[in-house]
C-alpha cells in the first residue's frame, strides 16, 4: 500500500488531547495503518484572523488502501466528528487534517492538491516530516521540487536570521491523568503486548503499582515482572504466590493471558492443537488463578478481578476460530459469573469481552478482514487496546463499585443474534 503523510493541527480547546484522540481515530480505521507519528510542535498562527491562538501541530505517516480523494473524504469526516466548522480561511479550528503527500503522486484538482501547496513553506509541517523520516525508514521527498524534507528545511533556515520569527517549539506539556487507582496493587497477566500491555500502562498511569506477566523472562524489570508458563498448573500457583507476596497482597487482578492461535507458527497448528492451547491458557489458567487469588482477596475483605472473554462467544462465528473461541471464551464468561457469586460481597468480578480489536493480528489482516470490520461494526472502525484498557480502568475503580458478575462488550456496537 502507498505511504501518505498527514498534517495534524489544533488551536481550540485541549489541543493535545484532540491530536492524541485524532491519532487514535486514524489507528482505528480499517484499511489504514499508522506507521509513525511525530512529536507535537507549538507554533504561532500564520495568516490567521486576529486573536487566533497558538497551534499545536504534528505529522503522521500512514499506509492506506484508499485512493487520495477517498482519503481526503475520510480526513474531512474525522474533522467533522471532532467539531470542525469551516467559517473562513485559516479560522480557528478544533482539528485540522491535511493530506500533505501521497507516495510520489502529483494531483491538481478543484478539491485536492497534492503535494500540499504550502508544504515547503511551513516549518510546522517540515519539522514533523523531518522527524518522521527516521521512523518510517526512508526520506520524505517532495515529488515536484525533488527535495527531501531536510533539504527543504535547510533552504528555509535563512528566514530565521530575523529573530522576530519564532520557530516551532517542541510541546512537552503532559496534563496529569486522574489517579483513579492510586495506592492499588495490580497483576495483569499476558501483559507484554496487545491489550494486556495497554491495561498495564493505563493502570500505572492512574496511580496503581503494576506487576506484569509473560512467558519469557524480562531481565530489565525484574521487580515489576514475573515470568510463568500458564500451561503448567504449578507455574500458575507460583505466579499467584509470587505476585501476592511481592506486593503484600493484590487489589486488582486482570486475567488477560491467552494463547495466540492466529499468528506465527500457530497458524499451521491442527484444530486439536489450538484447542488444547486455548483450554490450557485462556480457560484453565484463568480459573486456577481466579480461584486462588480470589480466595485470598475474599479472606482479606476486598478486591477486583477482571477476566477476558469474547463478544461473539454467545452468538457464535463461522469457521474453526469461531468454534474454538466461542467454546473457550464462552466458558470464561460463565466462570466469571459464578466466581462473582462465590466471592461477593468482598470481591467484584467482571468480564471484558472485546470485539474487533486492532492488535498485532489486526495490523496485518487482509483487505477482506478490514472490510468485515467495517461491515460488522456499527461504528465502522477497529477497536483499539486503549478502548479495552479504558473499560478495565473504570471496572477496577470505585466508580464501578456496584458492578459485579457482568460481561462488558467493547465492540463498537456490534450485536448479533
- Give the residue numbers marked as catalytic: 84, 93, 96, 98
Give the span between the Cα atoms of 243 and 252, in whole angstroms.
Answer: 11
What is the four-CA torsion angle of 66, 72, 75, 77, rounded to 10 degrees?
-100
Residue 225's DSSP bridge partners are 212
Encode 25-38: b = buried (16+ Cβ within 10 Å), e = exposed: bbbbbbbbbbebbb
DSSP string, 40-95: -EEE--SS--TTPPPEEEEEEEEEESS-HHHHHHHHHHHHHHTT----STT---S-
Residue 60's DSSP bridge partners are 6, 37
Q: Report CA-CA distances (Å) from 357 to 98, 133, 382, 388, 406.
A: 27, 28, 6, 8, 20
With contact defined as beta carbons under 8 Å apart, do 149 and 130 qualify?
yes
CA nearest to 253, candidates 245, 261, 262, 244? 244
Give the span between the Cα atoms of 292 and 410, in whole angstroms.
Answer: 27
Give the span between the Cα atoms of 247 and 203, in whole angstroms.
Answer: 15
With contact defined as beta carbons under 8 Å apart, do 42 and 54 qualify?
yes
Amino acid at each position: 500500500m502507498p505511504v501518505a503523510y498527514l498534517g495534524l493541527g489544533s488551536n481550540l480547546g485541549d489541543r493535545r488531547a484532540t491530536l492524541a484522540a485524532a491519532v487514535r481515530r486514524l489507528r482505528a480505521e480499517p484499511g489504514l495503518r499508522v506507521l509513525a507519528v511525530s512529536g507535537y510542535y507549538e507554533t504561532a498562527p500564520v495568516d490567521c484572523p486576529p486573536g487566533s491562538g497558538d497551534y499545536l501541530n504534528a505529522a503522521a505517516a500512514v499506509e492506506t488502501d484508499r485512493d487520495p480523494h477517498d482519503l481526503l473524504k475520510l480526513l474531512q469526516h474525522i474533522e467533522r466528528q471532532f467539531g470542525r466548522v469551516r467559517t473562513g480561511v485559516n479560522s480557528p479550528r478544533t482539528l485540522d487534517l491535511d493530506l500533505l503527500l501521497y507516495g510520489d503522486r502529483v494531483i491538481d484538482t478543484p478539491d485536492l492538491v497534492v503535494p500540499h501547496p504550502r508544504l515547503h513553506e511551513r516549518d510546522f509541517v517540515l519539522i514533523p516530516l523531518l522527524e518522521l523520516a527516521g521512523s518510517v525508514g526512508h526520506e520524505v521527498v517532495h515529488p515536484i521540487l525533488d527535495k527531501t524534507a531536510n533539504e527543504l528545511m535547510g533552504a528555509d533556515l535563512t528566514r530565521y536570521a530575523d529573530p522576530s520569527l519564532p520557530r516551532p517549539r517542541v510541546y512537552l506539556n503532559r496534563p496529569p491523568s486522574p489517579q483513579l487507582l492510586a495506592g492499588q496493587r495490580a497483576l495483569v497477566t499476558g501483559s507484554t503486548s496487545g491489550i494486556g500491555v495497554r491495561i498495564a500502562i493505563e493502570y500505572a498511569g492512574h496511580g496503581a503499582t503494576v506487576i506484569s506477566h509473560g512467558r519469557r523472562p524480562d531481565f530489565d524489570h525484574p521487580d515489576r515482572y514475573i515470568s510463568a508458563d500458564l500451561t503448567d498448573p504449578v507455574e500458575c500457583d507460583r505466579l499467584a504466590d509470587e505476585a501476592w507476596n511481592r506486593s503484600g497482597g493484590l487489589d486488582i487482578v486482570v486475567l488477560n493471558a491467552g494463547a495466540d492461535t492466529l499468528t506465527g507458527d500457530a497458524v499451521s497448528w491442527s484444530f486439536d492443537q489450538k484447542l488444547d492451547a486455548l483450554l490450557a491458557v485462556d480457560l484453565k489458567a484463568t480459573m486456577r488463578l481466579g480461584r486462588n487469588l480470589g480466595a485470598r482477596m475474599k479472606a482479606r475483605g476486598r478486591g477486583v478481578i477482571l477476566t477476558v472473554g469474547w463478544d461473539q462467544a454467545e452468538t457464535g462465528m463461522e469457521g474453526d476460530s469461531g468454534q474454538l473461541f466461542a467454546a473457550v471464551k464462552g466458558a470464561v464468561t460463565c466462570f466469571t459469573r459464578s466466581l462473582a457469586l462465590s466471592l461477593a460481597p468482598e470481591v467484584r468480578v467482571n468480564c471484558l469481552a472485546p470485539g474487533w480489536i486492532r492488535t498485532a493480528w489486526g495490523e496485518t489482516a487482509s483487505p477482506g478482514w478490514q472490510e468485515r470490520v467495517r461491515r460488522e461494526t456499527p461504528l465502522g472502525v477497529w477497536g483499539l487496546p486503549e478502548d479495552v484498557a479504558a473499560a478495565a480502568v473504570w471496572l477496577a475503580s470505585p466508580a464501578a463499585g456496584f458492578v459485579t458478575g457482568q460481561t462488558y462488550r467493547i465492540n463498537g456496537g456490534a450485536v448479533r443474534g
